[in-house]
Structure 1
Amino acid sequence: MGNRVRAIWYQRDSQEMDHSVPRQIIGGVYRKRRQDVLRWDGWGYKDSQFVYHNGEVSFLGEGYPIGGAKLDNFRNWFEETFDVDFARSNPPTNPPTDFPEPLRNGDFLSGLKQAGVEFSEDGMDRMMRCHGQTLADIESLRKHKFERLPDVVIWPNSHEQVVKIVELAAVHNIALVPVGGNTSVSLASTTPLIYDRTIGCLDMTQMNRLLWLSEENLTACFETGIVGQDIERELSQHGFTLGHEPDSHEFSTLGGWIATRASGMKKNRYGNIEDIVVRTKMVTGKGVLEKQFTAPRVSVGPDFDHVIFGSEGTLGVVTEAVVKIRRVPDVIHCESLVFGNFEKGVRFLREVAEKRLQPASIRLIDNVQFKCGMLLEPKGSLLAGFYEFGKKFYLTTICGFQLDSVVAVTMLFEGEAKSVVHHEKQVLEIAKRHGAIQGGEKNGRKGYMLTFVIAYIRDFIWDYNIVGESFETSIAWDKCIQLCTNVKACIEREVAKRNIKYFVVSTRVTQSYDDGACIYFYLLFKHVDARKDPLVLMMEIEEIARDEILACGGTLSHHHGVGKLRSRWYPASVSQVGVGLYDAIKSELDPKNIFAAGNLVGTEGYRKAKL
């Protein structure tokens, strides 16, 4: 991956740097030229993708479990479900060569040079940081329709440099948009439509050091541009883990997690990001906001860190964070279960949550995703044949299940060996009462790891006129089944109204709590009418589905955030008093509207910036 190496220092005591023990962190996802490593027009690495060649679909890239696999079942299912001819695809789009001229502020750039801050006005550098990962973002890239690019990309390498950059921005009326991995699916990292000010993209990814680590207190301090996989790589050298593992773990950063109030697959064991972060340091338009202590809990008025969580780059930029760390578990064990239908799976999750027995990760996938998981088995593998004959016989004849209704649960257990065995036994006893059968460790491991591959499917099928998108919510247990039923029915109605013949709607429960769960919805459809923009169709359907989610008692988002995509629902979600409180905080911390990302309440919510 062209990894880069940066020297840091390891520290056993949080109060004093130990310069006698030099350490190195290796990371290479976000070199300054992202385009050397990442796709310019979609998700992930350039060397990892689904491809069709000589009648076969396969996955290129050695970094994933299905790398090099021939996926005949996957090809057959898509051909039958969407009437796809894989031999005919849309021609690939070449990277752009012409870019709009930047709105240059010479005095600001001169100030960056004097301060020793690196920056670039290169068109490709700017384009690689103008977007997130929504369909709208990718469509803009592929069609070279950039509504707005940042005018300059800035790479700070320390907290002090960030302070200087923000000071210069205040003097020269520069709008700053902090970015990390650009993995947002809410348009949060998409460049705002500001045309009368220079926009500087504050790329934090070169600030990726472990500053100190305390084994006694089980805490560590990182610069916030560090990527999730690099956090784990560094901590594992010392026998620790952070445990925060979102689907974007390979590309998203600690700062992005804080900015979006993120959640990870293993939140049951390690907590959501607000449970993991102990203390933050944020540079605002008025100065640095930081607690003057690090302690397990205090009572000194409102916790200002919770203003920072979910602020989506609109109040300032977080430069450092103290986080909780845990010992690397002795045992990591995967398991899977098969249930007769989705309702039984939900009831199982509910009982496990009620008894506080959730494994580190526990996810329920519906029948569509259950089948798709089997379809991604490589050609010639034992399980691929099992899918064709053995599975059908066992599930239908022996277990009495209907193939068109079965669902699966994947689980990940972590901890000491004896504890994991006892924990798993308790969970399996509950599963048995709900009529489940075990699917085995291999399927559990595959289901967990394939989460990281799903995003690549969307980009592949787009080349065959199939668009796909997902959106999530959280809901109380007593409304969970009804929400899933109503939203799926709503999407199916809207699809039918638009005369879309080939489509799939799917559901997944990804995180569970004492009082509710996180629900994902997926929609894939084939568009054949050139007179209708498929992106517009998808956005129309998603907005109507979002209205239905809210009507059913669901939330605007569980962990993706609001961004620009969902800002119109924000006032109804937090009340006008809540919007007023946010505006007051914004006015206090950023009176000149330096951090004009346009998220949450949108540009209208910033009212009149005090320039």
Structure 2
Amino acid sequence: MDISKPLKVVSVFPKRRQDLLRWDGWGYKDCKFVCENDFVSFVGNRYPISGRMENFSDWARELFNVNVADYNPIAVQPTEFPEVVGNKAFLVGLSEAGIDYSQDGMDRLVRSHGQTLTDVENRRKHTYKRIPDVVIWPNCHNQVVQIVELANANDVVLIPVGGNTSVSLASTTPAIYDRTIAAVDMTQMNRLMWLSGENLTACFEVGIAGQDIERELGKLGFTLGHEPDSHEFSTLGGWIATRASGMKKNRYGNIEDIVVRVKMVTGNGVLEKKFTAPRVSIGPDFDHVIFGSEGTYGIVTEAVVKIRNIPEVRRYESLVFSDFDTGVQFLREVTEQQLQAPSMRLIDNIQFKCAVLLDPVASWYTAFVNKLKDFYLTTVCGFNMERIVAVTLLFEGDAKSVAHHEREVYAIAKKYGAIKGGEYNGKKGYMLTFVVAYIRDFAWDMNIVGESFETSIAWDKCITLSANVKACIRRECERRGMKYFAVSSRVTQCYDAGCCVYFYLLFKHLDIPEYSMKLFMEIEEIAREEILACGGTLSHHHGVGKLRSKWYPECVSPVGVGLYKAVKKELDPKNIFAAGNLVRGEHQPKEDKP
């Protein structure tokens, strides 16, 4: 099937996104955790975990000394907003060009941030220091060109935004007070421009969200296969800007493997290859300058991507191992033999228990079966329930290939003493990813701070890294007098040479929430130093943003910083893309508040 004319897609993002999505946290307004009669439930029918969590209250009380009955969300939608820094000539230019824009306070606020705890707390407490002065909605590439020309002519800062799902402060409005800041909301640029079934390629405008891509391609029998944790709300442009990775990268690749060609509007013109081909040798690939540039070089408008036929079979499974180290060894051997399932993720003991507790209340029969499973694990297999871990698996392909693939993976699992945990647990583990941010926001309202950070590491250092970083975090928590906290890790992506490791820190608020935030930032910074000392990277797929920019120079070398600045000067000589991400210097914004 071929498509030669642009097709408009119904976007998950209305222009007034605050009508559908939460302004004070993550996700849809009609999906959330609630407390009723000392029980926790998840309401809304968009996710498979809807229902009452029978054991969640006991877990929160035991681990964090928190009574869920005291849950009391306090967020109140603001009515006053930071004053607009005006630029009449710029707005007149937008109007004359027929480009839609808004200076409504809530429109500005919901595009001023990402999804770090700092972002969420600033919105709930109304402590944001700077938000955009205007929100712009371009509807095509040519309008983006006009916007950039107007910004160059009027000294306006442009911050391209999509789903605002960043967890690195990359989309958080920079502290620039002497220039107008415009948030360029790309989400209405979401057309499927063309599709070639013969070449298995398609071109999209990059404001399209992940779930919209899959829905539209699915109607035509295709899939992109890129599913990051933020898949519902993050956009193709955001994936390119951060060098994103998806849960099924073993089959479909990371975003740099999926994208064939990129079109970007810079301060010095349009950067784009004049061809679409599988590979060329004509000097450096300038598309790879765009990947990971985090909005500092220009605005990506369109991208040609690889697509695949929808797989005939999609099967989930889970495997239970005796401990984390054994799980890592299993992943390493599967990878060494080039047998990775499309998604293959190891969760440690704390996350294993949490996944069980986040199951809606079961029938008496299911509860009875679960008791038998516990007996089998501890008595027959000799597993320690305080150490067991799980690997969740997703297989895709034609029926024959998937069956063969499963047999080979399960044969390796048997060598490491694993037992199957069942398809239900595998699918639940995969889908639970999409509600983690809901859990984090709910926990915050129960006086529990919770956040994650990630890295990539060579295989021979993975186990040591996990142990050292966890020990470092525990030590710092104890040194600060914290009595109720939990530290957890998981391996989410596997490569020939190493893997991606996530860390999670949860602790009970101290008496002053602002102080708790300060403590978290201090501990995360020390943990990041430990990660780097153990040989881990600054980020695997979250990016650098403003949050980790202090470490960027030591990670890429002074020469690397100089190269970044040279490219910045060439593509954006007037510094209109002054997001303040990656590197600070002569071409980055000043943060002197008047």
Q: TM-score, normalised by structure 2?
A: 0.97
**Which amino acid in the other structure matches residue 25 of structure 1?**
V
SS in 2 for 1:70: strand
SS in 2 for 1:322: strand
> Following TM superposition, by how much is the alpha carbon of 1:532 offset from its aligned partner in structure 2, in angstroms?
6.5
TM-aligned CA distance change 1:151 to 1:216, over 3 Å: same
Q: Which residue of 2 aligns with 1:180?
A: 162
> Following TM superposition, by how much is the alpha carbon of 1:91 offset from its aligned partner in structure 2, in angstroms?
4.4
Are 1:417 and 2:399 matched, yes or no? yes
**Which amino acid in the other structure matches residue 52 of structure 2?**
K
TM-aligned CA distance change 1:107 to 1:500, over 3 Å: same
Q: Deviations 1:162-204 (Å, cap 9, x if unpaired)?
A: 0000000000000000000000000000000100100000000
Deviates more, 1:559-568 or 1:375-384: 375-384
> Following TM superposition, by how much is the alpha carbon of 1:528 offset from its aligned partner in structure 2, in angstroms?
2.7
> Following TM superposition, by how much is the alpha carbon of 1:104 offset from its aligned partner in structure 2, in angstroms?
1.0
Q: Which residue of 1 aligns with 2:451?
A: 469
Q: TM-score, normalised by structure 1?
A: 0.95
Choose from 127, 134, 138 the match for 1:152.
134
> Following TM superposition, by how much is the alpha carbon of 1:529 offset from its aligned partner in structure 2, in angstroms?
3.0
TM-aligned CA distance change 1:513 to 1:75, over 3 Å: same
Q: Which residue of 1 aligns with 2:504?
A: 522
**Which amino acid in the other structure matches residue 304 of structure 2?**
V
Q: Deviations 1:92-111 (Å, cap 9, x if unpaired)?
A: 22100011221110010000
For residues 111 and 375 of structure 2, what CA distance do their matches in structure 1 show? 51
For residues 514 and 427 of structure 2, what CA distance do their matches in structure 1 show? 41
Are 1:50 and 2:33 matched, yes or no? yes
Q: Is the 8 A contact 2:38 2:57 kept in 1?
A: no
Are 1:324 and 2:306 matched, yes or no? yes
**Which amino acid in the other structure matches residue 299 of structure 2?**
V
> Following TM superposition, by how much is the alpha carbon of 1:381 offset from its aligned partner in structure 2, in angstroms?
3.6
TM-aligned CA distance change 1:383 to 1:518, over 3 Å: farther
TM-aligned CA distance change 1:388 to 1:429, over 3 Å: closer
> Following TM superposition, by how much is the alpha carbon of 1:377 offset from its aligned partner in structure 2, in angstroms?
1.5
Q: Deviations 1:39-81 (Å, cap 9, x if unpaired)?
A: 11101000111110122210011000012x1101122111111
> Following TM superposition, by how much is the alpha carbon of 1:602 offset from its aligned partner in structure 2, in angstroms?
3.1
Choose from 420, 434, 444 the match for 2:416.
434
Instruction: Count the aligned residue pairs.
Output: 590
Are 1:12 and 2:2 matched, yes or no? yes
> Following TM superposition, by how much is the alpha carbon of 1:386 offset from its aligned partner in structure 2, in angstroms?
5.0
SS in 1 for 2:52: coil
SS in 2 for 1:26: coil
Choose from 336, 348, 373 the match for 2:318.
336
For residues 345 and 273 of structure 2, what CA distance do their matches in structure 1 show? 36
SS in 2 for 1:311: coil
SS in 2 for 1:533: helix
1:129-278 correspondence to structure 2 within 5 Å: 129-278=111-260
Q: Which residue of 2 aligns with 1:7?
A: none
TM-aligned CA distance change 1:460 to 1:523, over 3 Å: same
Choose from 291, 311, 315 the match for 2:273.
291
Q: Deviations 1:231-250 (Å, cap 9, x if unpaired)?
A: 00110111000000000000
TM-aligned CA distance change 1:91 to 1:223, over 3 Å: closer
Q: Is the 8 A contact 1:486 1:548 kept in 2?
A: yes
> Following TM superposition, by how much is the alpha carbon of 1:86 offset from its aligned partner in structure 2, in angstroms?
1.5
For residues 167 and 542 of structure 1, what CA distance do their matches in structure 2 show? 40
> RMSD value over aligned CA atoms?
1.4
Q: Is the 8 A contact 1:500 1:527 kept in 2?
A: no
For residues 347 and 91 of structure 1, what CA distance do their matches in structure 2 show? 43
For residues 292 and 473 of structure 1, what CA distance do their matches in structure 2 show? 35
Are 1:36 and 2:19 matched, yes or no? yes
Q: Which residue of 1 aligns with 2:475?
A: 493
SS in 1 for 2:55: helix
> Following TM superposition, by how much is the alpha carbon of 1:497 offset from its aligned partner in structure 2, in angstroms?
0.7
Q: Deviations 1:6-48 (Å, cap 9, x if unpaired)?
A: xxxxx816xxx35xxx855333x21100100111110100011
**Which amino acid in the other structure matches residue 45 of structure 1?**
Y
**Which amino acid in the other structure matches residue 26 of structure 1?**
V
> Following TM superposition, by how much is the alpha carbon of 1:421 offset from its aligned partner in structure 2, in angstroms?
0.1
> Following TM superposition, by how much is the alpha carbon of 1:269 offset from its aligned partner in structure 2, in angstroms?
0.1
Q: Is the 8 A contact 1:583 1:606 kept in 2?
A: no
Which blocks of at least 5 consecutive residues in structure 1 are unaligned? 1-10
For residues 272 and 415 of structure 2, what CA distance do their matches in structure 1 show? 50
Q: Deviations 1:285-341 (Å, cap 9, x if unpaired)?
A: 000000011000000000000000000000000000000000000000001000000
For residues 263 and 35 of structure 2, what CA distance do their matches in structure 1 show? 47
> Following TM superposition, by how much is the alpha carbon of 1:401 offset from its aligned partner in structure 2, in angstroms?
0.2
> Following TM superposition, by how much is the alpha carbon of 1:85 offset from its aligned partner in structure 2, in angstroms?
1.3
**Which amino acid in the other structure matches residue 38 of structure 2?**
G
Q: Deviations 1:405-447 (Å, cap 9, x if unpaired)?
A: 0000000000010000000100000000011001111111111
Q: Which residue of 2 aligns with 1:26?
A: 10
> Following TM superposition, by how much is the alpha carbon of 1:607 offset from its aligned partner in structure 2, in angstroms?
8.3
SS in 2 for 1:522: strand
**Which amino acid in the other structure matches residue 2 of structure 2?**
R
For residues 392 and 274 of structure 1, what CA distance do their matches in structure 2 show? 43
**Which amino acid in the other structure matches residue 332 of structure 2?**
R
